[in-house]
Structures are given as structure tokens and as C-alpha cells.
């Protein structure tokens, strides 16, 4: 059974999504660009872990330029990619999950807020 995170208080807003990423775009450089999925710090919205590929264990990742762990501190996300991203509370795509369609921004709600431990890029929708 899939458990989605978009409940009361969750925000889902359609954002403009570019089709192609710029040639200079780099993953995990702290700048969310077209073709990337971003996990943002819960209070400091200038901190973003920008992803182009799935990550099986976010528990060992930090926001670029800081020592702040991504796991336990992710307050919202933005999908500027052209595919869906699936988010999980456990490493290796385990635990409760939610998904983020292309062009959406928002935040995980409920008891799993701040506990994103892995992320999977997928052509399968929500």
C-alpha cells in the first residue's frame, strides 16, 4: 500500500519546469536548476540539496557548504525535473513513501516530516 504525504497543511503548487537543463548545471552544488529535484532545509530556504540521480541513503548527506544533515532537516522540496521523484523514510527505498510529480513544490506532512532517508527518480508517476 502506498502512503502519500500530501495531507492537511501540505502545500502543492505548480512551478514552471524547464525542458532541458543548462550545460553547466551540476548536481549537489546548492543551486536548484532545471532537470533537478531539490530537498530544502526546514528553516533556511537558501540551503538545498539538488539531485539529478536517485540516492539510496540520504542519512550521510549534508546540505552543500554546511555540516547540516539532510536527513532530519528536510522541510520542503521542489521538482524541476521532467520525471516523478519518490521519497522514502528508510534507506534503500524502504519505509513510508510519497511522491512528487514534475513541477510541484511542497512539504511532507504528518509524522514523517523531516525524515526523508532515500529518494528515487522514476518515469513511473505517483
Instruction: Note the CATH number of domain 30-122.
Output: 2.60.20.10
Sign of CA dihedral 104, 108, 114, 120: negative
Considering only the C-alpha atoms of the chain, give the largest distance between any 2 of them, rounded to a whole number of Å.
Answer: 40
Q: Smallest Cα–Cα separation from 103: which of 75, 70, 126, 69?
A: 126
**What percent of the chain is predicted at pLDDT more than 70?**
77
**pLDDT of the residue at 43:** 84
Domain ranges of the chain: 30-122
The residues with which 122 forms a beta bridge, in sequence order, are 84
Q: Tell me the per-residue pLDDT of 30-49, one tens digit each, with 9 for 90 and over.
A: 999 999 999 999 888 899 99
Asked whether the predicted pLDDT for residue 69 surpasses 70, the reply is yes
**pLDDT of the residue at 4:** 44
Average pLDDT over residues 68-93: 95
Average pLDDT over residues 4-24: 38
**pLDDT of the residue at 71:** 93
String of DSSP letters for 11-66: --EE----SS--TT--TTSS---TT-EEEEESS-TT-EEEESS-BS-GGG-B-TTS
- Nearest 5°: CA angle at 123, between 120 and 126? 75
Find which of 6-20, 61-75, 99-113 is predicted with most confidence, using mean pLDDT: 61-75
**Contact 59/42 with Cβ under 8 angstroms?**
no
Asked whether the predicted pLDDT for residue 23 surpasses 70, the reply is no
Amino acid at each position: 500500500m502506498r502512503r502519500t504525504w500530501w495531507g492537511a497543511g501540505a502545500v502543492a503548487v505548480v512551478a514552471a519546469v524547464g525542458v532541458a537543463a543548462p550545460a553547466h548545471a551540476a548536481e549537489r552544488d546548492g543551486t536548484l536548476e532545471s532537470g533537478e529535484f531539490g530537498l530544502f532545509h526546514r528553516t533556511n530556504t537558501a540551503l538545498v540539496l539538488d539531485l539529478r540521480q536517485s540516492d539510496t541513503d540520504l542519512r550521510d548527506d549534508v546540505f552543500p557548504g554546511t555540516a547540516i544533515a539532510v536527513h532530519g532537516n528536510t522541510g520542503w522540496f521542489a521538482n524541476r525535473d521532467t520525471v516523478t521523484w519518490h521519497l522514502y523514510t528508510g534507506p534503500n527505498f524502504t519505509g513510508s513513501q510519497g511522491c512528487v510529480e514534475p513541477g510541484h513544490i511542497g512539504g511532507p506532512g504528518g509524522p514523517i516530516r523531516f525524515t526523508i532517508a532515500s529518494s528515487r527518480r522514476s518515469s513511473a508517476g505517483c
